[in-house]
A = this chain, B = another copy of it.
Amino acid sequence: MKQDFQEICKKLNISPSITRKQIYNYLDGHRTHPTVDEIYHDLVVDLHTLSKTTVYNVLKLFIQHNLVNVINTTENEKRYEINDMKHSHFLCKICNKLYDIPQVTLSYDKNKLSGFSIEGEQVTLIGICPDCMKQKNIN
């Protein structure tokens, strides 16, 4: 059930400014794990005075409130995604594209992890995506 951004802000006790709403909607509409740069370049068209600093600020705020997740890719850049559905990731080692895939189920021996309090998980399968497999078969 999708929540309105206004309601989300109300719950978290943060003000729903236009900039924040735009960034939230962008992440909601672009499930492609965009970088700060991508978010900035796409939004500055409408929000002419937008700065990257603000994008960083807003994302930081969202992360603090668990609205957004950071993903660390193999490159030196962070990618962002809305934190509204549990899922796993698939990283293509050819084109470096990061796909959302249905959540992978984990099983492990809890006895070997006694003392550890497990609260979350990050799973990334790595391989070659369908598009790159096609390219490979052509060449």
| Contact between chains at A121 and B118 (CB < 8 Å) | no
Quickly give the copy total for this chain.
2
Is A125 a contact of B118 with CB atoms below 8 Å? yes
Contacts of A126 in B (CB 8 A): 118-122
Residue among A108, A118, A128 with max Cβ neighbours from chain B (10 Å): A108
Point out the residue from B102, B123, B127 that lies within 8 Å of A117, measured CB to CB.
B127
A side interface size, CB within 8 A: 37
Q: Which of A17-25, A41-49, A68-76 lies at the binding interface?
A: A68-76
Contact of A122 with B120 at beta-carbon distance under 8 Å, contacts A101-B112, A105-B108, A107-B104 already known: no
Could you tell me if B122 and A106 are in contact, using CB atoms closer than 8 angstroms? no
**Residues on B with beta carbons closer than 8 Å to the beta carbon of A29:** none
